[in-house]
């Protein structure tokens, strides 16, 4: 007769047989957890390392930007005219610009019609063209380059008869984007007449943004962005050979511009301070107030200016074969009193009244 084993022995045997499976499963779970934790730690260390590298690159970039000249006036004087990298104050993006040997920054240049200037307001804000060729530096850059309100503007032009014309301003400022990049000039001198005075205080217009005060769309008609009013006495961004003009009030004639170059140069702070003081005195003694037929008030003053300028051949840039005027500070001599610098509080009223 077979011997029957107790049931509890069989149970214990079965139970004892299953323990290795549970232990193996637990070990696998622990290994997976450890593996996931190790993988997470590795990824975290890799991310932290990448962030550290990016921060280092950013610090190096900022260091490079801070060491760049803010404009051409800070480029070492032993450098000849050419292309230089600058970083205008308030900007984190460096720009390549053309600098003259005497520290002027080229902000506009036309000489052969190779660049399309019939562009949108956004294009004019950002800038376009090549610094070594036809070029517009951009209204945003102009704002940052002139925001200290202590910047000179020099406009050099050559007409279709190869006559050379110069208009220079002791003060040149372009307001912010929010204000429409409004034009402010003062302290004119030159032989080309103060044509920009007609457009004083105007916001910038382009083919897709009409901010002039004319019944027509000036930017669309002349195919280029500018500070139009009714519509212009000066426009160097119009259609080449048709729209480049400057009004010479002394002869009551338009200058047919063949090539143009607009340059700016930041003045020293002490010179600007003395100019402000002189402006207050000049305004007190020479400015008269009259009432216009529309009831608006207009500020008027009289001045006569002329400059001795070099011959056309002396103004050609060595890097170009076309008729390209460049800055020639040594050849520029003021022979008469300049138009006085206006106080900021009078600019808006004057600009509106003189356009009527």
Per-residue pLDDT of the chain (356 residues; tens, 9 = 90+): 454 444 444 444 444 455 555 555 555 555 666 666 777 788 777 777 778 777 677 566 565 666 677 788 888 877 788 898 887 876 667 888 999 998 999 999 999 999 999 999 999 999 999 999 999 999 999 999 998 878 999 999 999 999 999 999 999 999 999 999 999 999 999 999 999 999 999 999 999 999 999 989 999 999 999 999 989 899 999 999 877 999 999 999 999 999 999 999 998 777 776 555 444 443 333 333 333 333 322 222 333 333 344 444 344 343 443 334 333 333 333 333 344 444 333 433 433 333 33
Q: Which helix (H) or strand (E) holds 246?
A: strand 245-248
**pTM exceeds 0.85 for this model:** no
120-131 burial: b if 16+ Cβ within 10 Å, else e: ebebbbebbbeb
> Closest Cα to residue 356, out of 251, 242, 216, 213?
213
Per 3-state DSSP, the chain is made up of helix, strand and coil in percentages (nearest 5) of 35, 25, 40
- Per the omega criterion (within 30 degrees of 0), is the bond before 231 cis? yes
Tally Cβ neighbours within 10 Å of residue 144: 20
* HSE-up (13 A, CA, CB side) for residue 216: 9
Cα separation, 352 vs 295, in Å, equals 12
Tally Cβ neighbours within 10 Å of residue 269: 10
Query: Do the beta carbons of residue 198 and residue 233 sit within 8 Å?
Result: yes
Query: Do the beta carbons of residue 104 and residue 263 sit within 8 Å?
Result: yes
> Closest Cα to residue 290, out of 345, 337, 356, 230?
356
The pLDDT value recorded for residue 45 is: 77
Which residues lie below 8 Å from residue 89, measured CB to CB, with a gap of 6+?
A: 70, 144, 147, 148
239: tokens are 């259609």
Q: Which residues pair with 168 in a beta bridge?
A: 154, 189
């Amino acid at each position: 007769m077979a011997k029957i084993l107790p049931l509890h022995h069989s149970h214990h045997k079965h139970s004892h047989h299953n323990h290795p499976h549970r232990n193996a499963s637990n070990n696998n779970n622990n290994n997976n957890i450890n593996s996931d934790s190790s993988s997470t730690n590795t990824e975290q260390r890799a991310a932290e390392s990448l962030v550290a590298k990016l921060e280092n690159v950013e610090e190096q970039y900022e260091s490079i930007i801070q060491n760049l000249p803010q404009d051409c006036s800070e480029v070492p004087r032993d450098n000849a005219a050419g292309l230089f990298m600058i970083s205008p104050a308030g900007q984190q993006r460096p720009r390549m610009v053309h600098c003259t040997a005497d520290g002027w920054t080229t902000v506009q240049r036309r000489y052969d019609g190779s660049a399309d200037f019939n562009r949108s307001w956004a294009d004019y804000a950002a800038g376009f063209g090549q610094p070594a060729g036809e070029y517009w530096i951009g209204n945003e850059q102009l704002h940052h380059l002139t925001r200290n309100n202590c910047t000179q503007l020099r406009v050099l032009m050559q007409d279709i008869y190869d006559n050379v014309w110069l208009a220079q301003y002791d003060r040149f400022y372009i307001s912010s984007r929010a204000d429409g990049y409004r034009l402010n000039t003062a302290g004119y001198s030159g032989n080309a007449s103060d044509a920009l005075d007609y457009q004083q205080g105007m916001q910038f217009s382009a083919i897709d943004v009409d901010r002039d005060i004319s019944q027509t769309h000036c930017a669309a008609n002349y195919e280029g962005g500018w500070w139009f009013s009714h519509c212009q006495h000066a426009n160097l961004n119009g259609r080449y050979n048709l729209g480049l003009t400057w009004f010479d009030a002394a002869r009551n004639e338009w200058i047919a511009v063949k090539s143009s170059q607009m340059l700016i140069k930041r003045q020293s702070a002490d010179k600007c301070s003395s100019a402000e003081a002189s402006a207050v005195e000049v305004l007190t003694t020479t400015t008269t107030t009259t009432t216009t037929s529309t009831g608006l008030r207009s500020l008027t003053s009289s001045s006569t200016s002329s400059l001795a300028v070099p011959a056309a051949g002396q103004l050609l840039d060595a890097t170009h074969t076309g008729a390209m005027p460049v800055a020639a500070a040594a050849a520029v001599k003021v022979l008469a009193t300049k138009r006085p610098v206006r106080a900021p509080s009078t600019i808006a009223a004057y600009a509106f009244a003189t356009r009527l």
